Amino acid sequence: MSHYQVIWNGPVLGDNGIGTAGREYVLALHRLGVHVKVTPARRRSSLSTPSKRLMLALARRPLVRKKPKVLVYHRLPHTLNIAQARKKYDYLILNAVWETTKIPRNWLPNINRFDAVCVPSVQNRIAMRRSGVRVPVYIVPHGVDSRAFNPRNKKLAVTKKGAFLFVSVFTFQHRKNPETLLRAFWEEFSARDRAALLIKTSGFSSKESGAWIRGRIAAYKKELGIRHKTAPLHLLTGSASPRTVRGVYTAGDAFVLPTRGEGVGLPFLESLASGTPVIATGWGGHMDFVTRANSFLVPYKLKPPAAGMKKAISRSFRHLFAQKGQLWAEPDLDSLKKQMRHAYEHPALCRQKGLRGRRDMSRWTWARAGHAMKNAIEKTIASKRRR
């Protein structure tokens, strides 16, 4: 057992990206023999998995009086009372993720009062430095469970045999760029093509229901003036079982998401681990593992996020992403169309890239992420002791 105790403060029971990442980091540290306590861990979701039950067990662990205490804060940095935290813990580490070239202004004062920051990608470290973060910034990557996400998973039945299926998984928000994805698909593929697009998505509140999302998409198609019969679009909205989501990835011949910004992009990791190549914007945290060998990259221009929000069909989070000095990627529509058409016309190439993606993801494990997190924690402890 480690000579220090880690207190992980984050939503480790959530089924979203931050919940999955936090839970996997904690599990990896636990397997490495780090004395981890979770706080808080409330019953907010199904406890059907052993990992979630373990989170509750780790939450019941007491604080160890004789061990140095390391707080890993996996929440918005400005929400921690640093003065109070300093009274309880010997070291403060922020675990953060961000999607534009600069972090929100109200994050900075608190971040520089932590002892260190852990981020999951090169793009994130650059954003931190450009924003004025002066404390050490360590890259601690995410991982993917290649046993759970693998090419042998049963495919979700969507299209007739022989049709080329594009798939996409994202929350229904402007940053994910549903506008460009839908427009590219509608304009490039007609009913004459043996192609289809399956989107797995969900909103952020009860008002953003499946019916609301379908209405927004229908209104957008009408606004674009698209009157010809397009290739089929299938929508899977709301919550879905892990088995269904895994079946979405393996059903696809190519995964496509012209995102404007990603801190990591868990769906990219999951798709590649499932043997399905990715069509993605060539900028963001996912560029640490999305390559020309396993994917199709779409060129882009860095632009202020507010520029495209007037035509958003989904939630924009303007208060976070429309601040002065922030930029993110606007992928080129015509290039996206070309990449989708190229993938459609070359299914063998898609399979080749998918196999390469599967091999590449064998290195992107949560065990590797746990080692990186453990190293960041121990470097922080050693660095502060030398002061």
pLDDT in tens, 254-290: 999 999 999 999 999 999 999 999 999 999 999 999 9
pTM of the model: 0.94
Can you give the pLDDT at residue 46?
53
Region 341-353 average pLDDT = 98
Region 147-159 average pLDDT = 94
Region 98-111 average pLDDT = 96
Name the DSSP letter for residue 251. Answer: H
Can you give the pLDDT at residue 17?
87
Quote the mean pLDDT of the chain: 95
Pairing of strands 254-257, 300-303: unpaired
Can you give the pLDDT at residue 52?
84
Assign 44 a pLDDT band (cuts: 50, 70, 90). Answer: low
Q: How far apart are CA 198 and CA 180, in angstroms?
A: 15
> In the chain, what are the domain boundaries?
5-143+366-386, 164-362
* Axis-axis angle for helices 17-31, 50-59 (nearest 10): 70
Cβ atoms of residues 137 and 119 within 8 Å: yes
Q: How far apart are CA 137 and CA 380, in angstroms?
A: 10
Distance of alpha carbon 91 from the chain centroid: 27
pLDDT 10s digits, 164-181? 999 999 999 999 999 999
pLDDT at 184 over 60: yes
